[in-house]
């Protein structure tokens, strides 16, 4: 398919807005719940559609459970902890995009793909951007929060490599079924590290804001957004859809500035700009390669 329908473009922009706002909603949710409990509630709600007959993806239990640990347990619990320990929600939306570069590194390490020169340049620029964000400007950046969020991005990169090795699956079904893994360990970790009193206080004092945060992160950000994203990747291609993810950190930083009233330094903006530019360079390189390969196939004489 050569063109993308306007409705589908609007849907992709909507997904990017949902994911960008997700970081602000997480920050709001952490006002109601401790991070491990919050993450556990998110995935408990994500797993509910299994009760209504959502079929299990046609993959073995081992890869399903492994993804439940990497994409479920690690990615989001580390992100929640990173924001809880002080990383600005807007910057978190940028830092999490390091998953693109971690995916390239891990895919290269296992021999799935070899990064081209343009991709290597994008990685260097991207990590320079992250380094600028990490520079402590009078204690502005919480280093622990940054490191935890980078750990979430690395776990996301591992998950992407694992997904690349799966047969074609519906992302919605996959996200629902990997959600059976995180709740129990997250609730147990919450009990040990956050304590029964904090859990009881959060659940007994849960208001509309807390309920809305869990609903948004579980239903909108996970099930709806991933379902639409996966469906449009199947309809078009990963290369046609992936560049819309560049809108996520832009929306995330804008939403954090508007709704959280967090002041960012010049270094923060410079680091975010470099990171987004690196993502754009990497996406442009993949799109050009896909276009060139398709053109070569069309020009190849038919035997």
Q: What are the extents of the domains in the chain?
A: 23-299
Give me the percent of the chain exceeding a pLDDT of 90: 48
Comparison of pLDDT for 106 and 187, the residue scoring more:
187
Give me the percent of the chain exceeding a pLDDT of 70: 88
Alpha helices (H) in the chain, listed in sequence order? 6-29, 35-46, 61-67, 75-84, 89-95, 99-109, 117-134, 143-164, 171-178, 183-189, 196-204, 208-215, 225-235, 238-241, 247-255, 266-299
CA triple 210-214-218, angle to 5 deg: 170
pLDDT in tens, 91-134: 898 889 888 888 888 888 887 767 777 778 888 888 888 888 77
Quick one: average pLDDT of 137-157?
Answer: 82
Which pTM was predicted? 0.86
Answer yes or no: are the C-beta atoms of 80 and 35 closer than 8 Å: yes
């Amino acid at each position: 398919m050569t063109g993308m329908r306007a409705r589908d473009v609007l849907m992709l922009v909507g997904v990017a807005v949902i994911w960008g706002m997700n970081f602000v909603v997480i920050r709001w949710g952490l006002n109601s719940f401790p991070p491990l409990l919050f993450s556990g509630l998110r995935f408990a709600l994500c797993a509910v559609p299994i009760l209504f007959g959502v079929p299990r993806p046609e993959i073995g239990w081992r890869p399903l459970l492994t993804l439940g640990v990497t994409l479920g347990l690690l990615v989001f619990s580390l992100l929640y902890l990173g924001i809880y320990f002080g990383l600005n929600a807007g910057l978190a939306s940028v830092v999490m995009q390091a998953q693109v570069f971690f995916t390239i590194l891990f895919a290269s390490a296992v021999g799935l793909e070899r990064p081209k020169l343009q991709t290597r340049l994008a990685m260097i620029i991207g990590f320079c951007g992250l380094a600028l964000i990490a520079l402590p400007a009078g204690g502005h950046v919480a280093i622990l929060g940054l490191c935890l969020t980078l750990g979430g991005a690395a776990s996301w990169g591992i998950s992407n490599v694992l997904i690349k090795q799966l047969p074609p699956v519906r992302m919605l079904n996959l996200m629902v079924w990997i959600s059976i893994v995180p709740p129990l360990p997250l609730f147990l970790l919450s009990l040990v590290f956050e304590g029964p009193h904090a859990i009881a206080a959060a659940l007994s004092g849960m208001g509309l804001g807390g309920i809305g945060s869990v609903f948004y992160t579980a239903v909108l950000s996970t099930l709806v957004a991933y379902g639409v994203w996966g469906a449009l990747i199947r309809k078009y291609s990963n290369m046609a859809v992936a560049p819309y993810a560049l809108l996520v950190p832009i929306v995330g930083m804008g939403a954090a500035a508007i709704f959280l009233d967090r002041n960012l330094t010049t270094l923060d903006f410079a680091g975010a700009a470099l990171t987004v530019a690196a993502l754009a360079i990497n996406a442009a390189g993949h799109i050009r390669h896909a276009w060139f390969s398709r053109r070569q196939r069309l020009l190849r004489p038919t035997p």
